[in-house]
């Protein structure tokens, strides 16, 4: 690495006290820069190079953010970076705004009511309950010690990003599950709550694999970014039940409200449906059912479960035959939906 880069990182380490993770990030980002003092044309080239390597907009922007910090520092100005700066700089790309992947209510129900057997399944179950209940990051859950849980007041202390600690509430239900788990495994107060079988950090990849397998076992495909979508699910449900965005920001440990916005925005999509159903003017019980359950999901899941062992689909006729028989089988298990007595109200549409 160029000596000027090293100097930048050293100064950041000692003067602004950045975390080791940030230092690692600086190293990765600065390695994209072609030289110590690049010209504006080099920088344009840099963005093109990153796009060719198929980096996503968000990934490119993190590199740009770091490069701009370095370029400002390299310019030797003491002031904060702003419009008055004359050093070369890179403009950020527009990032697409995507709806956050979340678990549906039905999927969450299934995860919660899953009956684990053996201590490793129980560990996974408690972790999932933990993520759904507190909305914390997976890294925060892995690093948690047993002593950081205040049983009497139902509070836990989390070590968030940027060395910021925060205290979040837990539910009574989670306390029960967690207590049973700790007792069964003989976890001491100074031990990590979720550890591997040797007592080391539980590997993130292994958790991801187990969580995905579990979802498939319970009859649905895990949403993308599976472990993080527990956090999304928590956030969206919190807002849906009437929690305020400001409290949500505190609980999630976001430093700015801007970071919490995607959760509120994705809720908006759901709200739209709420309003449509509201306009239909159907009885409340049926309204609740239509707004919260995706009725077609159930037959889909049924077909998925009943055809999952087929590995060789020979032709379309075979696929149709299997699907038809799977649907007929699934039909036998159908139950009446909530508010079925009021279904007549839909007739006039």
Q: Provide the binding-site residues for Zn ion, judged by CB under 5 A.
A: 72, 81, 85
Rg of the Cα atoms in the chain:
25
| Lookup: tokens for 263 | 């959760």
Task: Report the nearest approach of Zn ion to the CB of residue 258 (Å).
Answer: 21
- Give the residue at shortest CB distance from Zn ion: 85
Q: Counting runs of H as helices and runs of E as strands, what totals does the chain give?
A: 15, 3
Please provide the DSSP assignment of 115-133 as one string: ---HHHHHHHHHHHHHHHH
Instruction: Please say which residue, 78 or 258, places its beta carbon nearer to Zn ion.
Output: 78
Most distant CA atoms of the chain, gap in Å:
76
Between CA 193 and CA 130 the distance in angstroms is: 11
Nearer to Zn ion, 69 or 343 (CB): 69
158-197 per-residue burial string, b: 16 or more CB within 10 A, e: under 16: bbbeeeeeeebebeeebeebbeebbeeeebeeeebbbeee
For Zn ion, give the closer residue by CB, 52 or 86.
Answer: 86
CB of 84 to Zn ion, least distance (A): 8
Cβ 229 to Zn ion shortest distance, Å: 37
Residue 87 CB, nearest approach to Zn ion (Å): 5
> Cβ closer to Zn ion: 85 or 305?
85
Rank residues 83 and 316 by Cβ distance to Zn ion and give the closer one.
83
| Least Å from the CB of residue 75 to Zn ion | 6
Query: Considering the complex, what minimum distance in angstroms separates the CB of residue 65 from Zn ion?
Result: 12
Rounded Cα distance between 306 and 328, Å, is 11
- The C-alpha atoms of residue 205 and residue 225 are separated, in whole angstroms, by 12
Q: Which two tokens stand for residue 138?
A: 């997976």
- Please give the angle made by the CA atoms of 74, 75 and 80, to the nearest 5 degrees: 100
User: CB 85 → Zn ion: shortest distance, Å?
Assistant: 3
The rounded distance, in Å, linking the Cα atoms of 166 and 172 is 19
Residue 280's SS3 state is helix
Nearer to Zn ion, 81 or 154 (CB): 81
Beta carbon nearer to Zn ion, 74 or 237: 74
């Amino acid at each position: 690495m160029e000596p000027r880069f090293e100097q930048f990182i050293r100064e950041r380490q000692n003067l602004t006290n950045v975390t080791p993770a940030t230092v690692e990030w600086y190293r990765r980002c600065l390695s994209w820069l072609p030289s110590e003092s690049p010209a504006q044309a080099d920088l344009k080239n840099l963005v093109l190079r990153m796009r060719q390597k198929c980096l996503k907009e968000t990934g490119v922007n993190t590199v740009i953010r770091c490069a701009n910090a370095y370029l400002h520092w390299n310019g030797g100005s003491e002031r904060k970076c702003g419009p008055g700066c004359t050093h070369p700089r890179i403009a950020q790309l527009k990032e697409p705004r995507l709806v956050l992947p979340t678990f549906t209510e039905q999927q969450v129900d299934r995860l919660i009511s899953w009956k684990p057997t053996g201590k490793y399944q129980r560990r996974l179950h408690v972790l999932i309950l933990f993520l759904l209940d507190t909305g914390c990051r997976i890294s925060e859950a892995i690093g948690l010690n047993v002593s950081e849980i205040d049983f009497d007041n139902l509070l836990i202390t989390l070590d968030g990003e940027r060395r910021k600690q925060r205290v979040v509430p837990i539910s009574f239900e989670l306390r029960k599950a967690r207590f049973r788990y700790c007792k069964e495994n003989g976890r001491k107060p100074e031990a990590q709550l979720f550890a591997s079988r040797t007592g080391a950090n539980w590997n993130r990849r292994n958790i991801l694999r187990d969580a995905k397998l579990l979802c498939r076992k319970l009859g649905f495909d895990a949403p993308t970014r599976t472990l993080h979508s527990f956090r999304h699910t928590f956030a969206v449900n919190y807002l849906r039940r009437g929690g305020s965005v400001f409290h949500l920001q505190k609980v999630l440990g976001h430093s700015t409200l801007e970071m919490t916005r995607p959760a509120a925005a994705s809720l908006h999509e759901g709200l739209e449906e709420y309003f449509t159903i509201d306009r239909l003017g159907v009885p409340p019980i049926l309204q609740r059912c239509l707004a919260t359950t995706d009725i077609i999901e159930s037959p889909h899941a049924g077909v998925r479960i009943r055809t999952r062992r087929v590995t060789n689909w020979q032709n379309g006729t075979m696929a149709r035959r299997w699907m038809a028989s799977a649907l007929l089988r699934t039909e036998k298990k159908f139950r009446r939906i909530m508010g079925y007595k009021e279904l007549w109200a839909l007739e006039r549409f």
